[in-house]
Amino acid sequence: MRIVIVRHGETMSNIINGRGIDLYTGALNNELTDLTKKGENQAKELSENDIIKSIEKVYSSDLNRAVQTARLAKPGFEININKDLRERCLGEFEGKEKKDLIKLKQYEKYFNNKEFNNFRTDFMQKAPNGENYTQVSMRCKRFLDSLEFNEKITIGIFSHLHAIRCLFLNILKIEPKEEVFNLKIENCEPYVFDGDSLEEMKLVSHDLSNLIRK
């Protein structure tokens, strides 16, 4: 089996956070997380990519930005929606900015206490009513376990930064696992894995060491 993993195209929230504004999006699903015109063009350009053209079956997160990307990259293809591929949930913080949350007494520990302030990237800590990396990794593993690896087929997975990091973790068994927090995943960049079983899957499109920011 060949697995091609793609992060959705650029969104307005990507732009906002790129300007240094801490907007917590997580699994937010509204106009702030829909594709920008650039994001749409990134996805359309994928449709001309030979790797993307080779995809025979398409899976996507249920969040709009991933579905939009999948439809533009593989026009006319059935999109198999799977909620296990959605972005890590940030619970009560979604759609809010850090500068506003930090003023609220009930959330003080999430910004001033080291036992709670790594909620964005941690295997134990999480935002209130949100998910940690362990939970995201478990549902990504559940998705991978549902695949028939003995099929000679190329599948495409359209997902999100943190979910893709957890897919990488499950496929490549990255150690120490905390290295996934430094894994750089670009918008609309295809990451290709080959193998006859989950245990045999190898990343063939990139050098993993070049993807992990030091």
**Residue written as tokens 């894995």?**
193
**Whether 133 contacts 179, CB under 8 Å:** no
β-strand partners of 177:
none
Q: Tell me: the pLDDT tens digits for 145-171?
A: 999 988 899 999 999 999 999 999 999
Cα dihedral sign for 182, 188, 191, 197? positive
Domain limits, the chain: 2-211
**Phi and psi for 18 in degrees, rounded to 5?**
-65, -20
Q: pLDDT at position 214, please?
A: 65
Between vectors from CA 81 to CA 173 and to CA 5, what angle results, nearest 5°? 35
Helices (H), 28-63: 37-46, 50-53
pTM: 0.96
Average pLDDT over residues 18-33: 91
From 3.40.50.1240, 3.40.50.10860, 1.10.510.10, 1.10.8.80, which CATH number describes the 2-211 domain?
A: 3.40.50.1240
41 pLDDT band, cuts 50/70/90, is very high
